[in-house]
Structure formats: C-alpha cells, structure tokens
Amino acid sequence: MQLNQGPLLYEGKAKKVYRSDKPETVLIEFKNDATAFNAVKHSEFKDKGRLNCQISSYIFEFLIEEGIPTHYLGRLSDTFMIAQNVKIIPLEIVVRNIAAGSLCKQTPIKEGVKLRSPLLDIYYKEDSLGDPLLTDKRLKLLDLISFEQQQEIENLAYEVNTFLIAFFERIDLCLVDFKLEFGMNNNNKIILADEISPDTCRLWDNRSSDPKDRILDKDRFRKDLGGVIEAYGEILKRIQGDFSKSKTSR
C-alpha cells in the first residue's frame, strides 16, 4: 500500500499519528521514547520504534487471521503502521493471567502467582488523573460506552487473551498481562486499536527461570534491569522464526 504522510493529528508518549492521503486511513509512527510511571520516567532507546512497530504488526496480522476486528491495515515502512482512523475510547483494558505490577501493589497477591482465571481490569485513560482503576459502577457513571459495548469490548479482550497466550506459548513466552485499547471506526464499529508490543504486555521467557533474566518487556526499563532493546529484539526474532516456520508448513 503506497500512501503519503499528511499532517500530524496527534502525538502520544510512544507514537505519532498522521493523516494520510487516503480517507479514513492514518499513519502511526512508532517512536523510540520509553516512559513509565505516568511519564515521570523517560528515556529513549535506539531501534525501539522499529521493534515495536514490527512486533505489533505481526500480532495484529495474527489476530486478524483469528477473526478479531482491528485497526491494522499494513505497514508503510519499518516504523510506520497503516491503520484505520478510529476515535479512541479512553479506557485501558488490562487482562492478567499471572499476578504482577499494580495487582501486586494493590492486593496481597504475590508476583508470579497464576490466577485461577484471567482477570480483566478497566482503567480510565487520563494522564492528569493517573489512569485510575474503574469499578463497573464508575464506568457506568462516566457514560463513555453502553453496557452492550462494554460487554463487546470485554469479550474481545478475553478472546484476544486466549489467542495471544497460544501465540506466545509457541515461542516459549509466557503472557503475564497486557493492555488493550479499542476505538470506534467510521461505521461506528468497535475495533482493536493502539499497539500490542513489549511496551504494553508483560512477557516472561519460559527458557529462563531467573526472575530478572526472564523479563522480556518494559519492566526491564521500569526496574532498571538494562538490556531493553536486546529483550525486544529477542521477541521479534522468535516471532519471525515462528512466522517463517508456519509459512513453509502451509
């Protein structure tokens, strides 16, 4: 798909969104910036944009094959994704399979504990409020989406979780938790948007039992473990290996 870059529509912490010369189609540039703790911690990692753009693209392609509606249309270059223009619903949908991060800070559940069934948490995406965790009643009060739309989003998130657990399992990665964002396209259809990458997922390496070495995601940055780009590169390498294997076996 050949498209030309139009004016900047929006700049976020890790991505820039540009209009393109095709209606309803935007170009998303993945930046090298890394932020954590509501952008209090900030750094740049050479090549992170390319790695996340490619990892996200592979994952969206896989999810589309599984029937999940997403904004992904293709890739323009190493760091530019082509996507449907959507109105982002300001909610962060987190699905957890293993206890980590804020779940362990806010409850007595210890890191690494496998949850009996996936836990879905919804946060209000608003930096100035620190992205607070919502209750169902607060979500209803905010009136951002209808009850039916909430159910549709939750069902999609659980389905994505099932598909992604299998996707990562094949390459010896454990999907601990992840965050999704959804948007409304021009036909008022809810579709998966944003990115799915080691910036937005916790991924542990099944090939390592060391609690620090096994971390292959943004926690390497959050916890100052070093080797951020090496970890992201390892994920891309394993995904590409798996994709070329499954292509030759088709």
Question: Which residues contact ligand UDP by CB under 6 A?
Answer: 92, 94, 100-103, 131, 177-179, 200-202, 218
β-strands 87-88, 114-124 pairing: unpaired
DSSP code string of 42-93? EEE-TTHHHHHHHHHHHHHHHHHHTT--BSEEEESSSSEEEEE--EE-SEEE
Smallest separation (angstroms) from ligand UDP to the CB of 186? 26
Q: Which is nearer to ligand UDP, 76 or 83 (CB)?
A: 83
Half-sphere exposure of 94 (CA within 13 A, CB side): 22
Q: Which is nearer to ligand UDP, 51 or 201 (CB)?
A: 201
Q: Which is nearer to ligand UDP, 4 or 38 (CB)?
A: 38
Residues 157 and 160: their CA atoms lie apart, in Å, by: 5
Smallest separation (angstroms) from ligand UDP to the CB of 177? 4
* Nearest position to ligand UDP, beta carbon: 101
Smallest separation (angstroms) from ligand UDP to the CB of 112? 13
Q: Which is nearer to ligand UDP, 60 or 178 (CB)?
A: 178
Q: Which is nearer to ligand UDP, 64 or 120 (CB)?
A: 120
Residues 100 and 113: their CA atoms lie apart, in Å, by: 8
**For residue 168, how far is the Cα from the chain centroid?**
14
Smallest separation (angstroms) from ligand UDP to the CB of 224? 14
Smallest separation (angstroms) from ligand UDP to the CB of 132? 11
Beta bridge partners of 180: 93
The answer to whether 160 and 179 have CB atoms below 8 angstroms apart is no
